[in-house]
C-alpha cells in the first residue's frame, strides 16, 4: 500500500556518528596583499541525491596588506554567492502586486555578483535606503494606487530577496562559528564582525551602529537565539505530548535544534481515533479525526523506541517498532512560537497563510495607501491589532517569518541526518513558500554560486579588481588624513571626473606602509578604549604584556593622535601592575604628555556602568 519506501532511520542527530563538517572555510590570496575568504557548504546533489557538492556560499575580501597579523587587517566586501541579479522576467514579475509566485529560476550567473555589504563602510546602505524610502513616500505614493502598489511591491520583493539571502548567509556563519577548526582561516572576532554587520544590514539604521557595539550586539543575538530555540523546542515538545504526537528536533551537527518535525504513530491513530486535540500553537488540523491519515499512503518511517520511549537504532534489544506518519515541519527560531513551514496533509496551507498575510499588507499599504507613518489612526489600530495577535502567538513578523523560511531552506540544503526521501519531500513542500518572483530554485543555487565564485576569483585577479582594491585603500587613507568636508569634496569630484588612475601592476609601497601604520594605530586605540570602558583596572581583565604591547605600539607611532596619548595616560592611572605602569610612564615621557589629572590616582572609582565585557579582535 505504501508508495514510499518504509525507511529505517536513526532518530535524531544523537545517534549519528560525528559527521564530517558541513562547512569549511578557504583562503585564496589575490592581488596585492589581499585575500578572499570563502565559506563552502556540503550540499545535496539534487541529481544523485547524495551530499557531495562543495558549494561556495559566502566570500569576504580581507585586505591583510600581505601579512598574517590581524592587527592591520581590514574586512571589506561581502558577497553572498547564491544571490543573483534578477532576470528581466523576474524583474517584471516582482512589480506585480499580489503576484505570489516564482518567476522562473536563474540557472547561470557568470557575472561578478554585487557585494551584499561593504564592511569598511556599512553606513553607506543606510542613506541609500532612506533616500529610496523618502522617494517612495513623497514622489511615488501620491501618484495613485497603481504606481504606489507597483513600486512598493517591486521594492518589497527586492528587499525581501536581499534579506532572504542575508538570512541564509547568517545561518551559514552561525554554523561555521560552531566549528572552531575554521578559526585558523577566519578568526572568531572577524567572523563575529561579519555576522553582526550582515545581521544589522537588515535593520533600517543598522549600518550606523558603531564598531564598539558589535560585540554586544552579537552576544545579544546569540543568547536570544539560544533562548528562542529552547523555548520553542520545549513548547512544541509539550504540545506534542499533550496531543499524543511525536516530536523530533532537527539540528546540524554540534548545533542546537533549529527545526522540528511532528509525527503521529499509526498504531496510536488506530487505537485512539477520538482523542482530544488542542491545536493552539501547532496550526494544523486535528490528526485524530482526519480521514486522510486513516488511509495515509504518503511518506512514512519505521522507528524504534526503548521502554523509556527513547528513540533507539533498529535491532536494539527490547525496542518496539512504530510506523510514523509526518505531520508538520516547524522552525524553532521564530520569536515566541514555532513557525509552521510544511503541513504534510495540506501542502498549500502555509503558503495560503503567508499569501493572506502579505496580501493584506499590500492591500492596505499599496492599494489604499494607508501607511503607519502617514496615518496616525491607522498606526494606532495597527499597533493594537498586531500586539493582540502577537500576544496570542500569531506569526505577525514578516521579517522573522522570512528568516525562519530561509533558515529551513539552508538547513535542508546541507543536512545529512534526514532520510534523503524525507529531505526531498520537505524541500518540495518548503518550495511552496517561495512567493517572491526573484527567488531562484534552491537546486539551481549551487550552480549559480559556483559560477559567481569563479567570476569573482577572475575579477579579484584581474587588473580591474586590483585597481578597485587600490581605490578603496586610497579612500581609507583619506579617511585617516582628511577632514570630512574635504573627503566630501573629493567624492563629488570623483563623481564628475571619475576615479584617479591607478596602476594595478605597481604596488604602492608607501601607501601600504602608511595604511599599515594607521590601521595598527587605530587597532590599538580601539583595544585600549574598550578595555578601559570594560574595567576600572585594565590589567585585572587582560594580560598586562598585551596591554604593554599596545601602549608601546602607540608610543612608537609617529602618527599617534592626542586620543592615543590620553588612552595611555588613563591606562597608566588605572593600572595596578608595576611593569605596565612603567611602560605607560615611559610612553608618556616619550611623548611629553602628562598623566590625566582626574585619574592620576590608582584605584579611582570608575564611571557608572561601563561596558561589561570587552571583545577584541586580537
Partner 1 sequence: MTWLSPRCALLLLLSIPLAAEVKRVVIIKLDGVPESVLERELARVDPLTRKSTLPWMDRVFAQGGTRIDNFYVRAISLSTPSWSLLDTGQHLQIHGNAEFDRYTGRVYDYMNFFPFYLGYARSRKVDMPGVEVLDDQKIPLLIDRFPYPAIYQSFQLYQRGVRWETLKDALPNRFSRSLRELLDEWTIGFELGSTVEEQTERELLAKLSDPTIQYLDYFTGDFDHVAHAASDVASQRLALQRIDALIGRVWTAIQASPLAAQTVLVAVSDHGMNTQPGLYSQGYNLLHFFNSRAGGAHHVVTNRHPLDEFKLRGLDPFVSEVVTQSDDSLYLKGEGDDYPTALLDLDGNERASVYLRNSAFNTLHILLKEINRSGADPALRRAAITGFFHVIDGHRPEWQDTLRQISDELGALRRAMERQHAQVELEPRKWTKEQRDAGLDKAARRQVVQLDSWREQERTYSAYLRVLSKLLTLEPSDFDRHRMAEEDLIPKRAMGDPNSVYDLQNYVVGPAASGLILAPDGSLDFVRSFERVNYAPLLTSLTVRNNVQAAVGSRPIDFLAMTVPNAGIWLYAAEDKQALLQSRETLNGGTELRYVPIRGLHQSADGSIHYEPAAPAPGFPLRMFEDDQLAVPQSEREAWLNSWHSEAEWFHAIEQTAYSNGIIALHEQFLPPAISAHSNDQDAGLLARFNQRRRRLAEPDFLIFANDHWNFNVRSFNPGGNHGSFLRASTHAILLFAGGADTGIPHHQQVEAPYDSLSFVPTILELTGMHAEAAKLPGRPIEEVAPRPSPSDTH
**Which residues of this chain interact with partner 1, rule CB under 8 A?**
11-12, 14, 200, 203, 205-206, 208-210, 213, 216-217, 219-220, 222-223, 226-227, 230-231, 233-235, 237-238, 240-242, 244, 246-249, 256, 280-281, 308-311, 336, 388, 391-393, 534-537, 540-543, 546, 603-606, 608-610, 612-613, 616, 618
Query: Which of 131/387 has CB closer to partner 1?
Result: 387
Shortest Å distance, C-beta 248 to partner 1: 7
User: Which set of grid coordinates corresponds to residue 148?
Assistant: 504606489
* Cβ-based neighbour number of residue 21 at 10 Å: 19
Nearer to partner 1, 238 or 559 (CB): 238
* Pick 56 or 311: Cβ nearer partner 1: 311
In angstroms, what is the minimal distance from the CB of 68 to partner 1? Answer: 17
If residue 260 lies in a helix (H) or strand (E), which one and from where to where? strand 259-265
CA–CA separation, 476 and 42 (whole Å): 36
Comparing CB distances to partner 1, the nearer of 219 and 529 is 219
Contact in structure between 61 and 461 (CB atoms under 8 Å): no
Q: What is the DSSP string of 403-440?
A: HHHHHHHHHHHH--SS-HHHHHHHHHHHGGG---TTPP
In the bound state with partner 1, the residue whose beta carbon lies nearer, of 192 and 444, is 192
Identify the DSSP state of 362. Answer: I
Q: Closer to partner 1 at the Cβ: 6 or 613?
A: 613
Smallest distance, partner 1 to C-beta of residue 604, A = 6
CB of 403 to partner 1, least distance (A): 16
Contact 191, 174 (CB under 8 A): no
d(CA 208, CA 389): 32
Handedness of CA 380, 382, 383, 385 (dihedral sign): positive
Taking the C-alpha atoms of residue 128 and residue 130, their distance in angstroms, rounded to an integer, is 5
In sequence order, which ranges of 362-506 are alpha helices (DSSP H)? Answer: 376-391, 398-414, 420-430, 442-461, 463-481, 484-497
Task: Tell the smallest beta-carbon distance from residue 27 to partner 1 (Å).
Answer: 21
Residue among 95, 78, 194, 211 nearest 151 (CA): 95
Q: Least CB distance from residue 601 to partner 1, whole Å? A: 8
Residue 282 Cβ, how far from partner 1 at the closest point, in Å?
Answer: 13
Lookup: cell for 545: 604584556
Grid cell at residue 100: 505570489
d(CA 225, CA 335): 9
Residue among 86 and 326 whose Cβ is closer to partner 1 = 326
474/479 with CB nearer partner 1:
479
Q: Minimum distance from CB of 245 to partner 1 (Å)? A: 8
Amino acid at each position: 500500500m505504501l508508495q514510499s519506501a518504509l525507511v529505517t532511520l536513526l532518530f535524531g542527530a544523537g545517534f549519528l556518528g560525528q559527521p564530517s563538517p558541513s562547512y569549511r572555510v578557504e583562503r585564496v590570496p589575490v592581488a596585492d596583499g589581499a585575500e578572499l575568504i570563502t565559506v563552502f557548504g556540503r550540499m545535496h546533489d539534487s541529481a544523485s541525491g547524495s551530499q557531495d557538492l562543495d558549494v561556495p556560499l559566502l566570500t569576504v575580501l580581507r585586505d591583510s596588506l600581505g601579512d598574517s597579523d590581524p592587527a592591520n587587517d581590514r574586512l571589506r566586501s561581502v558577497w553572498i554567492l547564491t544571490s543573483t541579479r534578477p532576470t528581466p522576467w523576474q524583474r517584471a514579475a516582482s512589480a506585480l502586486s499580489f503576484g505570489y509566485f516564482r518567476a522562473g529560476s536563474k540557472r547561470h550567473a557568470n557575472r561578478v555578483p554585487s557585494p551584499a555589504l561593504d564592511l569598511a563602510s556599512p553606513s553607506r546602505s543606510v542613506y541609500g535606503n532612506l533616500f529610496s524610502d523618502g522617494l517612495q513616500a513623497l514622489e511615488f505614493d501620491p501618484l495613485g494606487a497603481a504606481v504606489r502598489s507597483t513600486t512598493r511591491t517591486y521594492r518589497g520583493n527586492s528587499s525581501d530577496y536581499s534579506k532572504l539571502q542575508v538570512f541564509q548567509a547568517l545561518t551559514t556563519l552561525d554554523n561555521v562559528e560552531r566549528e572552531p577548526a575554521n578559526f585558523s582561516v577566519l578568526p572568531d572576532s572577524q567572523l563575529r564582525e561579519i555576522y553582526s554587520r550582515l545581521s544589522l544590514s537588515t535593520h533600517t539604521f543598522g549600518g550606523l551602529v558603531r564598531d564598539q557595539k558589535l560585540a554586544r550586539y552579537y552576544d545579544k543575538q546569540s543568547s536570544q537565539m539560544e533562548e528562542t530555540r529552547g523555548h520553542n523546542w520545549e513548547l512544541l515538545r509539550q504540545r506534542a505530548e499533550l496531543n499524543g504526537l511525536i516530536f523530533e528536533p532537527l539540528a546540524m551537527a554540534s548545533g542546537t535544534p533549529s527545526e522540528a518535525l511532528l509525527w503521529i504513530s499509526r498504531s496510536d491513530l488506530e487505537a485512539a481515533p477520538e482523542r482530544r486535540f488542542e491545536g493552539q500553537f501547532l496550526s494544523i488540523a486535528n490528526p485524530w479525526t482526519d480521514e486522510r491519515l486513516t488511509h495515509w499512503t504518503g511518506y512514512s518511517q519505521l522507528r524504534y523506541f526503548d521502554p523509556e520511549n527513547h528513540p533507539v537504532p533498529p535491532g536494539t534489544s527490547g525496542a518496539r517498532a512504530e510506523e510514523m506518519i509526518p505531520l508538520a515541519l516547524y522552525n524553532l527560531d521564530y520569536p515566541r512560537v514555532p513557525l509552521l513551514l510544511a503541513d504534510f496533509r495540506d501542502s498549500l496551507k502555509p503558503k495560503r497563510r503567508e499569501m493572506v498575510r502579505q496580501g493584506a499588507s499590500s492591500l492596505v499599504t499599496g492599494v489604499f495607501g494607508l501607511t503607519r507613518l502617514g496615518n496616525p489612526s491607522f498606526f494606532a489600530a495597527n499597533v493594537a491589532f498586531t500586539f493582540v495577535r502577537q500576544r496570542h502567538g500569531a506569526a505577525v513578523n514578516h521579517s522573522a517569518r522570512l528568516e525562519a523560511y530561509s533558515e529551513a531552506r539552508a538547513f535542508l540544503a546541507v543536512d545529512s541526518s534526514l532520510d534523503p526521501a524525507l529531505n526531498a519531500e520537505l524541500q518540495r513542500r518548503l518550495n511552496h513558500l517561495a512567493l517572491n518572483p526573484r527567488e531562484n530554485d534552491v537546486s539551481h543555487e549551487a550552480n549559480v554560486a559556483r559560477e559567481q565564485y569563479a567570476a569573482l576569483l577572475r575579477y579579484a585577479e584581474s587588473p580591474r579588481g586590483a585597481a578597485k582594491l587600490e581605490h578603496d585603500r586610497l579612500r581609507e587613507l583619506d579617511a585617516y588624513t582628511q577632514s570630512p568636508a574635504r573627503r566630501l569634496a573629493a567624492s563629488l569630484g570623483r563623481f564628475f571626473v571619475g576615479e584617479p588612475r591607478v596602476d594595478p601592476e605597481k604596488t604602492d609601497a608607501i601607501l601600504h606602509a602608511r595604511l599599515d601604520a594607521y590601521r595598527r594605530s587605530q587597532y590599538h586605540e580601539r583595544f585600549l578604549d574598550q578595555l578601559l570602558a570594560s574595567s576600572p583596572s585594565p590589567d585585572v581583565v587582560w594580560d598586562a604584556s598585551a596591554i604593554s604591547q599596545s601602549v608601546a605600539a602607540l608610543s612608537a607611532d609617529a602618527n599617534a593622535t592626542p586620543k592615543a596619548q590620553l588612552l595611555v595616560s588613563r591606562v597608566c592611572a588605572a593600572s595596578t601592575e608595576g611593569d605596565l605602569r612603567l611602560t605607560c610612564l615611559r610612553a608618556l615621557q616619550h611623548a611629553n604628555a602628562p598623566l590625566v589629572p582626574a585619574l592620576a590616582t590608582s584605584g579611582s572609582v570608575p564611571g557608572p556602568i561601563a561596558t561589561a565585557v570587552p571583545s577584541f579582535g586580537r
